[in-house]
């Protein structure tokens, strides 16, 4: 035991912190999906897994890498802590409020917007069928249709919007939050249809995890607080789903996966986690005679906002900056994802590594506090969206994806129209104490899923 601790000190420390996060939730009755819990749990858990060193590409971090990772961690936690302490001094409740139907919210219009998102998703499914001749799962060789060499054009963007439909239908599917029985029943059916169709049309891991993750997080706020043990069970199922989809994509080769050794089967999930850290270390510490990636002077930080105006591509082509495939900083070819801190450092250096996590911690904790009193559909949808990608921040950087900026705009417009002009959505303002006043929503700072081709490695 002692020798194992000496051989894997980073993993041991990470396990201790991860267990403390679970202890804090179980014994202190804290919300597992609070910003500080999710950030610490996912960052330490994945870091501990990476330092098992199951692949030779995972080496010890350089001092600079540790400095960047620790600075990001402390900055995010400091932002969360400041808001929480302020709330306690003002005697603002930090306990989640049970869901209540929002006053004046038009669920029929909400359902119409949900079907609008679903119709856009169906157009993407149609594009895949036009290209492959069927749903990809039902084709004779699914792996060939899931290569990044297959160009689905704009249909890929529409197909990637399946999780947006899950968000819209999901918030309307819970009895405690939606008192419109007809809308609730239809939303439950459409939730299942969307998730299954998304998986059959294009069985990629990111969409599946996104759909299921959104649903689990919403259940925590709109149905019943999710136990950490349930989360661990879901994570075990997620590993099984990862292995299954990898088999469909022929990432284990052409042989039958049942005949392969367990260490071979499990190494691919390990590499998908560990490559985010070895790529960050590789990018932050280039050799003296080689520039891995130039500094973007903060310009690429706004890539997501201007992606569909073609501004982003112009800058990246002109200055040879990486796109979502991260071709220049992949240490092992084909494993091209990286911790979000590299993207921040590449754009804004250490100032950004401090400021962005700090501001995200403040904004997300403010929004979480808003869920500690009667909340609106917009607030719970946005929080679900943001906190999911905080959990995946070790894997990808969401604010640089234009698709998610469009999602936020869609959610804001839809929920605003459903709330009605001049109507109180969650509760009457007069019912709230003066010093409990908090912003209704915050702007997005973190999180993303890549488009379909970006998921391929």
Give me the pLDDT at residue 264, please. Answer: 59
Highest-confidence segment of 220-234, 291-305, 386-400, 405-419? 405-419
In terms of Cβ atoms closer than 10 Å to its own Cβ (0-12, 13-18, 19+), residue 228 is: middle
For residue 125, how many C-alpha atoms fall within 13 Å in the half-sphere facing its CB?
Answer: 20
In DSSP notation, 115-182 reads: HHHHHHHHHHHHHHHHHHSS-GGGSS-HHHHSSTTS--TTHHHHHTTHHHHHHHHHHTS-TTT---HH
Residue 123 has pLDDT above 70, yes or no: yes
Residue 432 has pLDDT above 50, yes or no: no
Residue 336 has pLDDT above 80, yes or no: yes
In DSSP notation, 398-445 reads: GGG-HHHHHHHHHHHHHHHHHH-TT--SSS-GGGS-GGG---S-----
CA 215 to chain centre: 13
Quick one: pLDDT band at residue 349, thresholds 50, 70, 90?
very high
Mean pLDDT of 142-167: 87
Mean pLDDT of 81-98: 93
Residue 99 has pLDDT above 90, yes or no: yes
Residue 289 has pLDDT above 70, yes or no: no
Q: Which of 313, 293, 295, 294 is nearest to 303 (CA)?
A: 313
Gap between the Cα atoms of 271 and 263, Å rounded: 12
Residue 146 has pLDDT above 50, yes or no: yes
Q: Convert the pLDDT of each residue in 353-396 to its tens digit.
A: 999 999 999 999 999 999 999 999 999 999 999 999 999 887 77
Lowest mean pLDDT among 43-52, 179-188, 253-262, 306-315: 253-262
Q: For residue 447, report the phi and psi dihedrals to the nearest 5 degrees.
A: 105, 150
Contact between residue 97 and residue 374 where contact means Cβ atoms under 8 Å apart:
yes
Residue 437 has pLDDT above 60, yes or no: no
In terms of Cβ atoms closer than 10 Å to its own Cβ (0-12, 13-18, 19+), residue 222 is: buried
Give me the pLDDT at residue 48, please. Answer: 93
Give the chain's mean pLDDT.
85
Quick one: pLDDT band at residue 439, thresholds 50, 70, 90?
very low
Please, what is the end-to-end C-alpha distance for the chain in angstroms? 36
Give me the pLDDT at residue 400, please. Answer: 86
Mean pLDDT of 253-270: 60
Give me the pLDDT at residue 441, please. Answer: 40
Helix (H) or strand (E) holding 359: helix 340-370
Residue 435 has pLDDT above 60, yes or no: no
Q: Convert the pLDDT of each residue in 21-33 to its tens digit.
A: 988 888 888 899 9
Point out which residues pair with 335 in neighbouring strands: 332
Give me the pLDDT at residue 243, please. Answer: 63
Give me the pLDDT at residue 192, please. Answer: 96
Gap between the Cα atoms of 318 and 296, Å rounded: 12
Q: Is 450 left (phi over 0), alpha (psi -120 to 50) or beta?
A: beta
Give me the pLDDT at residue 233, please. Answer: 80
Residue 290 has pLDDT above 90, yes or no: no
Mean pLDDT of 186-197: 96
Gap between the Cα atoms of 391 and 396, Å rounded: 10
């Amino acid at each position: 035991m002692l020798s194992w601790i000496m051989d894997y000190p980073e993993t041991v420390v990470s396990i201790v912190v991860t267990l403390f996060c679970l202890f804090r939730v179980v014994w202190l009755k804290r919300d597992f999906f609070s910003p500080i819990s999710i950030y610490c749990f996912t960052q330490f858990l994945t870091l501990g897994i990476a330092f098992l060193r199951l692949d030779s590409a995972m080496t010890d971090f350089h001092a600079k890498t540790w400095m960047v990772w620790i600075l990001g961690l402390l900055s995010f936690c400091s932002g969360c802590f400041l808001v929480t302490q302020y709330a306690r001094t003002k005697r603002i409740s930090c306990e989640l409020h049970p869901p209540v139907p929002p006053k004046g919210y038009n669920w029929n219009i909400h359902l119409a917007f949900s079907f609008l998102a679903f119709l856009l998703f169906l157009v993407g499914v149609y594009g895949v069928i036009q290209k492959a001749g069927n749903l990809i799962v039902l084709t004779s060789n699914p792996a060939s249709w899931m290569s990044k060499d297959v160009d689905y054009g704009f249909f890929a963007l529409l197909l990637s919007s399946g999780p947006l439909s899950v968000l819209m239908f999901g918030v309307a599917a819970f009895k405690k939050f939606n008192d419109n029985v007809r809308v609730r029943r239809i939303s439950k059916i459409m939730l299942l249809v969307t998730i299954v169709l998304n998986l059959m049309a294009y069985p990629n891991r990111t969409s599946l995890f996104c759909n299921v993750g959104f649903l689990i997080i919403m259940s925590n706020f709109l149905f019943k607080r999710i136990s950490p043990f349930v989360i661990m069970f879901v994570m075990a199922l997620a590993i099984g789903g990862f292995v299954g989809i990898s088999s469909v994509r022929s990432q284990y080769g052409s042989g039958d996966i049942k005949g392969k050794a367990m260490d071979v089967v499990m190494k691919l999930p390990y590499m998908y986690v560990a490559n985010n850290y070895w790529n960050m270390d590789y990018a932050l510490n280039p050799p003296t005679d080689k520039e891995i990636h130039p500094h973007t002077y903060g310009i690429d930080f706004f890539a997501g906002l201007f992606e569909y105006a073609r501004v982003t591509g112009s800058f990246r082509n002109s200055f040879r900056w990486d796109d979502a495939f991260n071709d220049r900083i992949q240490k092992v070819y084909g494993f091209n994802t990286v911790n979000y801190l590299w993207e921040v450092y590449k754009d804004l250096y250490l100032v950004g590594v401090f400021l962005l996590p700090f501001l995200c911690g403040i904004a997300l904790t403010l929004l979480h506090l808003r869920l500690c009193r009667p909340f609106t559909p917009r607030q719970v949808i946005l929080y679900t969206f943001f906190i999911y990608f905080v959990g995946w921040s070790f894997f990808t950087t969401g604010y640089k994806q234009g698709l998610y900026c469009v999602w936020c705009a869609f959610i804001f417009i839809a929920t605003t129209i459903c709330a009605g002009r001049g109507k109180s959505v969650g509760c009457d303002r007069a019912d709230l104490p003066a010093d409990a006043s908090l912003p209704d929503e915050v702007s997005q700072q973190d999180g993303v899923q890549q488009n379909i081709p970006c998921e391929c490695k």
